[in-house]
Structure formats: C-alpha cells, structure tokens
C-alpha cells in the first residue's frame, strides 16, 4: 500500500470520526461549566463585542475587568454591568504597549488581590483599505492591535493560570483570517489564528489540561467597525453581516463548554473544512 493512498484513507477515517463525534454532540450537548466567581478580563471593552461580552459574562455571575484605550466608553460599559448587579473594574490600557499591559496586569492583581482566570482578547481595529492605498501607520496599528497585543496580554496572565492549572484564554479572531480580502486586516487575523493555535498546542504538550482555549472566528459583525467596507452582492445574499448580540451569544455557548473553535455562522465551517481537505489531499499526493 503506497503512502499517499494510506494517508488518504487515514484522512477519510478522520473525517468519518469527526462527523460521528459531532453528530453525538448535537444530540448530547456537553454540559456547560459554571463561571460564577471567575475573574474575566476583556480587552476592547469600551463598545461593540467587548461591551456585549462584559454583559454576557456578568449574566453568568463572573466578575469583569475592563480594558480599553478609551476611558470614557469603558466607564459606560462598567455602568451597564453594575446596573445588572455585577462587579466591574475599569483600566485605561493601550494593549499595543507591552509596558502598559504588564504594568496594568500587576495593578489588577494588586487592586483585586486575585489573579485573572479568564482572558478575552477582543480588542481589534480595521483599516479597510487596499494594500497600496493603506498608509503604513494604519498597517502597523492593525498588526499591533490585532496580533502583537495577544502576545503581551497572554504573557501577562498565562503564568498564573499555569501555576493554578486553571484558566481560559479566548481569542476573538475572524473567519476573514482564512479569507483573502482586505490585506492588512486579514493578515493580522491570520496571525491571530496562528498564535492561538500554537498556544493551544503548547498547553496541550505541556499537559496543562486545566487551562482551556477557545478560538472565536466570526464573519463580518455589524458593529460599525466595517462601515464603508463593501461586500459583493452575491456573497451578502448568502452571508449578511452578523448581529453583534447573536455573535456574542454563539461565542459564549462555545466558551461555556470549552469548545476549542467556533466559527460564526455555522456555514463558514464549510470553508474551513474545504481548506483543510485541499491541504491534506495536496500532502497525500505530493509526499511519496
């Protein structure tokens, strides 16, 4: 039996296994974990998905730490959380500045007397320009916020999670990290996906089973961040922009069952499957 054919058969067995496993999960949905009492830090919490995540975590009894570069908007989020009866702590932080991240991480530990147990890397920006039309400064800003900041926040909070073998890191990436469209944004989100997958693999190999990871890959969300960006009509008919509340609720459903990856909407899973399948078949036919 030649190697390419053997690999192809193994791929088909994997596909059958995952189909059967996911079919069982549809019927027997995993039990959701309680997060009441968890200390959840959310970046980019001044509006959009970050604000909605703060409210959703509060609904489930978590205490939230809100990081945003805009202090005024961040306080508005905190007010909404407190009106729900929740606890919110605000910090004005530039997540692209690693010294600012590390300093505020220590301040959170000092102020609250406890460690962050769940980290939601949500902060993001988009320029929405073609590569040659996009100013260099905007490209740098996009990469720093959407990619580099992930390194600084994870380095600030992961050691304590490892020490307790308890924690959860959530990366809000984008399905556009797998599409080839707006160059700067897609490149930054592709980097975010790669960062998260590498982190998850590292935790797995080091056997930190208590530190969970969830990669959230939504399609375009109607938060205003993509205002001015045009979607081809034939694509928009099939995939209109997502409602923010729906996006956050779907993400929360995945987080609460420790799901490693969630693509929103479900239709986008098809694209990720096609990518994986094409790549696997390429390997099977190219390596003899």
| CA-based nearest residue to 239, from 270, 261, 214 | 270
Name the least confident of 9-13, 176-180, 183-187, 264-268: 176-180
Quick one: tokens of 120? 């939601």
Cis check: omega of the bond before 194, within 30 degrees of 0:
no
For 37-275, CATH gives 3.40.50.720
**Is 185 in the active site?**
yes
192-214 pLDDT tens trace: 999 999 999 999 999 999 999 99
Summary mean pLDDT of the chain: 86
Angle at 272 between CA 185 and CA 123, to 5 degrees: 35
Alpha helical stretches, state H, the chain: 3-27, 48-59, 71-83, 98-112, 136-143, 149-164, 183-205, 233-238, 244-255, 268-286
| pLDDT exceeds 70 at position 55 | yes
pLDDT at 22: 64
Q: What is the pLDDT of residue 225?
A: 62
Model confidence over 126-150: pLDDT tens digits?
876 777 888 899 999 999 999 999 9
Percentage of the chain with pLDDT > 90? 62
> Would the pLDDT of 254 be above 90?
yes
pLDDT digits (tens, 9 = 90+) for 60-109: 999 999 999 999 999 999 999 999 999 999 999 999 999 999 999 999 99
Q: Which residue has the higher pLDDT, 282 or 101?
A: 101
Q: How far apart are CA 64 and CA 78, in angstroms?
A: 9
pLDDT of res. 18: 64
- Percent of the chain past pLDDT 70, that is, above it, reads 77
User: Given this model, what pLDDT does residue 28 score?
Assistant: 67
Rg (CA), the chain: 20
pLDDT band at 280 (very low <50, low <70, confident <90, very high): very low
Which span out of 121-130, 133-142, 218-227 was modeled with the highest average pLDDT?
A: 133-142
State the pLDDT at residue 282.
Answer: 35
Please pick, among 17, 185, 269, 279, the residue that the annotation labels catalytic. Answer: 185
190, pLDDT greater than 80: yes
Q: Report the pLDDT value the prediction gives residue 154, as an integer from 0 to 100.
A: 99
Residue 279: the pLDDT is 40
Instruction: Check residue 52 and give left, alpha or beta (phi > 0: left; psi -120 to 50: alpha).
Output: alpha
**Listed ranges 20-24, 178-182, 200-204; the one with the highest mean pLDDT:** 200-204
């Amino acid at each position: 039996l030649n190697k390419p054919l053997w690999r192809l058969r193994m791929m088909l067995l994997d596909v059958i296994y995952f189909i059967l496993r996911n079919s069982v999960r549809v019927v027997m949905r995993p039990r959701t974990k309680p997060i009441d009492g968890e200390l959840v830090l959310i970046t980019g919490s001044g509006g959009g998905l970050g604000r909605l995540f703060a409210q959703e975590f509060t609904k489930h009894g978590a205490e939230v730490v809100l990081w945003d570069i805009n202090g005024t908007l961040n306080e508005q989020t905190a007010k909404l959380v407190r009106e729900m009866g929740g606890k919110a702590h605000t910090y004005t932080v530039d997540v692209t500045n690693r010294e600012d991240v590390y300093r505020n991480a220590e301040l959170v530990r000092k102020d609250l007397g406890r460690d962050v147990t769940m980290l939601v890397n949500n902060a993001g920006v988009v320029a929405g320009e073609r590569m040659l039309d996009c100013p260099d400064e905007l490209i740098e800003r996009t990469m720093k916020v959407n990619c580099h900041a992930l390194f600084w926040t994870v380095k600030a909070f992961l050691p304590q999670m490892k020490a307790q073998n308890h924690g959860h890191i959530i990366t809000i990436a984008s399905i556009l990290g797998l599409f080839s469209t707006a160059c700067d944004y897609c490149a930054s989100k592709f980097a975010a996906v790669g960062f998260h997958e590498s982190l998850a693999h590292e935790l797995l190999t080091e056997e930190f089973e208590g530190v969970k990871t969830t990669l959230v890959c939504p399609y375009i969300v109607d938060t205003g961040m993509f205002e001015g960006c045009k979607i081809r009509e034939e694509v928009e008919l099939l995939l209109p922009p997502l409602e923010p509340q729906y996006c956050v609720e779907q993400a929360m459903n995945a987080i609460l069952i420790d799901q490693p990856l969630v693509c929103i909407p479900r239709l986008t899973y098809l694209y990720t499957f096609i990518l994986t399948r094409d790549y696997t078949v390429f390997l099977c036919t190219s390596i003899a």
